[in-house]
Amino acid sequence: MSIGMSKTWVLALVLAAACQPAGEPPVDQPGVVPVQPGGARGTDGAVGDRAADGAAGDRAPGTNGSAPTERGTVPGTVPGTAPGTAQRPTTGIGQEATADVNQANAQALQDVHQLHQYQVELARLAKAKSKDAGILAYADQAAREYKEADDKLMKLAKDENISLETAEAARYQEYRDNEARLRALEGPVFDQAYIVEMVDGGTRSVKMVETVLTSTQDPEMKAYFLAIQPIVKGQADRAKQLKTTPRGTE
């Protein structure tokens, strides 16, 4: 290359450098990425529409390199829920509530069924053992009314598809113990023991019916217990009257 051409080449480079905009690196400088028009350079080197923290568009990267989450939500939550909570599944809630109601109805019918049968059995025992006219009249009416109430209860259980069989034998052990104790008694001692048991049993029946009427929402259950409520209350009242009546000594 001649000296004249070298001078011409140097002059061209000087002119090119003089025409380069201030603050911009030479476009031919190796390793430099040109800034796109209208974009701002982020602190991490991102360009264009990226924000200074590296966010791109409407999505933000996780702080620990995890997958990006939707902007405006807290990691680990379901959109639209409070932080730290999860969306509760609703499937099965209604089924669980229905199962609880069915179980409560079944338990109520089983309890009343056992009490009716106990009252009927003791009434039959009184008719066989006692010679007291008042006790015999009371036992006759009790056996009849409790049997009628229990027959209606068994029909209700069948209509409601509820089994009256129960595996909780210990729940009704008191009935069997009282019956065995009364069977071993005779005469006036039996009469007095029977009357006491009828007062206690009548009070228990009234409370049981009131409890079911307060708790059940089943129209068939409510109708049945409303129907037997005056029966059990009447039996309880008559047992109390029988208790205050002087007994014979025969």
pLDDT tens for residues 137-194?
999 999 999 999 999 999 999 998 999 987 677 889 999 999 999 999 999 999 999 9
DSSP structure string for 186-249: -HHHHHHHHHHHHHHHHHHHHHHHHHHHHH---HHHHHHHHHHHHHHHHHHHHHHHHHHSPPP-
| 24-39 tens-digit pLDDT | 555 455 454 454 544 4
Does this model's pTM top 0.85?
no
Domain boundaries, the chain: 104-244
pLDDT at 89: 44
Whether 75 has a pLDDT exceeding 70, the answer reads no
pLDDT at 83: 41
Phi and psi, residue 172, nearest 5°: -115, 20
Q: How confident is the model at residue 70 (pLDDT cuts 50, 70, 90)?
A: very low
- How far apart are the C-alpha atoms of 175 and 178, rounded to whole Å? 5
- Cβ-proximal residues to 143 (8 Å cutoff; 6+ apart), any chain: 119, 120, 123, 124, 127
Phi-psi domain of 187 (left: phi exceeds 0; alpha: psi -120 through 50; beta: other): left
CATH class of 104-244: mainly alpha
pLDDT at 167: 61
- How far apart are the C-alpha atoms of 77 and 229, rounded to whole Å? 53
Q: Which range is least confidently modeled, 4-18, 70-84, 99-113, 167-181?
A: 70-84
Q: How far apart are the first and last CA of the chain?
A: 154
Helix (H) or strand (E) holding 59: strand 59-60
Q: In 3D, which of 144, 135, 234 has the Cα closest to residue 190?
A: 135
Q: What is the mean pLDDT of the chain?
A: 74
Q: How confident is the model at residue 113 (pLDDT cuts 50, 70, 90)?
A: very high
| b/e per residue 67-102 (b: at least 16 CB within 10 A) | eebeeeeeeeeeeeeeeeeeeeeeeeeeeeeeeeee
